[in-house]
Structure 1
Amino acid sequence: MSSTLVIQQPQPVLVSRESDEWGSGICGCCQDVPECCFAFWCFPCFACVTTKRYGQCLCLPLLDCFGFIPAISLSMRVSMRQRYGIKGDMCNDCLCASFCNACSWCQMSREMKRRNIQVLLVSAKNT
């Protein structure tokens, strides 16, 4: 009796690189009016939903209430730039997160929709 061993290599999280720029500007809310309205009327809920769609803890954005520079918004923006290969720097991310926080979250949400790259979790556990 013989058995077959199949080995599958993990796939990268970033499958394709469409562009190294944001898909829309920081004030491009007209591209997705319902999400812009959601962010305007209930920003904490919008940030939590966007964070969950990104694959992080749902309540993580609520920690931003404790400082002048919203650390969670800043780290999400930097993480998204790195995941999607978007050019930029920490200074610009810090300015957007501090002074245009709702617009920054709307931009990140639009980018996730535009890229539509699924997060691939690789597990070493046999199922």
Structure 2
Amino acid sequence: MTSKLVIQQPARVMDSRVSDQWGSGICDCCEDVSQCCFGFWCCPCFACIITRDYGQGLCLPLLDAFCIIPPINLAMRVSMRHRYGITDTICHDCLYASCCTGCSWCQMAKEMKRRAIPITLISSTPRHLDTHL
């Protein structure tokens, strides 16, 4: 009686090309025109949806209406840069949050869509197959 031990290494599940830059420019509206139109014509609703999809409070962006530099837009940009490892400056975040609010929300929405990678959990425990000859 002979037993054979077979160990298989887990196959590569995901090949990611992660960049340390934003996936689109602040004014790249042509990539997703419907999304940018929604962000332009109804920015408060659009911002609430993006914030919810990012995992934060649905109505949090409504607080932006009371400040010169929208704090929620700014906080979301900084958080997104840290989560995705994007290198940029807080000065750019302040500028985009205060002068290009709609474009900033659209850029963040495109980045979330671009970097949405389905997570697959795999077992790293090798499978043992015993075969008898």
If the TM-score is normalised by the length of the shorter chain, which range does it land in? 0.7 to 0.9
What is aligned with 2:56?
Answer: 56
Moved over 3 A (4+): none
What is aligned with 2:126?
Answer: none
Q: Distance in 1 between matches of 2:94 and 2:20?
A: 19
Question: Aligned-residue CA RMSD in angstroms?
Answer: 1.4
Q: Are residues 1:89 and 2:101 paired?
A: no
Q: How many residues align?
A: 104
Structure 2, unaligned runs of 5 or more: 1-15, 120-133
Change in Cα spacing, 1:86 to 1:17, as seen in structure 2 (3 Å) is farther
Give the TM-score normalised by structure 2. 0.75
Higher relative contact order (CA 8 A, sep 6+): 2
Q: Distance in 2 between matches of 1:81 and 1:118?
A: 20
Query: Over residues 64-117 of structure 1, what are the superposed CA-to-partner deviations in whole Å (9 max), with x where a residue is unaligned?
Result: 011100001000000000000000111110000000010000000000000004
Give the TM-score normalised by structure 1. 0.78
2:24 match: secondary structure: coil
Note the C-alpha offset of 1:41.
1.3
Note the C-alpha offset of 1:32.
0.4
Structure 1, unaligned runs of 5 or more: 1-15, 120-127
